[in-house]
Amino acid sequence: MADDADFMERAYALARDSFEEGGLPIGAVLVRDGRVIGAGHNERIQKGDPIAHGEMACLRDAGRQRSYRDTTLYTTLSPCMMCAGTIVQFGIPRVVIGENRTFGGNEDFLRARGVEVTLLDDPRCKALMKRVIEERPQDWFEDIGAA
Give the interface with a second copy as residue ranges (CB under 8 A): 44, 48-52, 56, 59-60, 62-68, 80-86, 88-91, 142, 144-145, 147
Residue 80 C-beta: closest distance to a second copy, Å: 5
As a dihedral over the C-alpha atoms of residue 115, residue 119, residue 125, residue 127, rounded to 10 degrees, the angle is 140
Q: Least distance from C-beta 6 to a second copy, angstroms? A: 25
Q: How far is the CB of 67 from a second copy (least distance, A)?
A: 6
Identify which of 20, 147, 138, 15 has the alpha carbon closest to the alpha carbon of residue 74.
15
Comparison of 35 and 66: residue with beta carbon closer to a second copy: 66
For a second copy, the closer of residues 21 and 49 by Cβ is: 49
Structure-derived torsion over alpha carbons of residues 92, 32, 12, 38, reported in degrees to the nearest 10: -80
Is residue 55 part of the annotated active site? The answer reads: yes
Q: Which is nearer to a second copy, 6 or 113 (CB)?
A: 113
Residue 34: burial class (beta carbons within 10 Å; 0-12, 13-18, 19+): exposed
Which residues are the active-site residues? 55
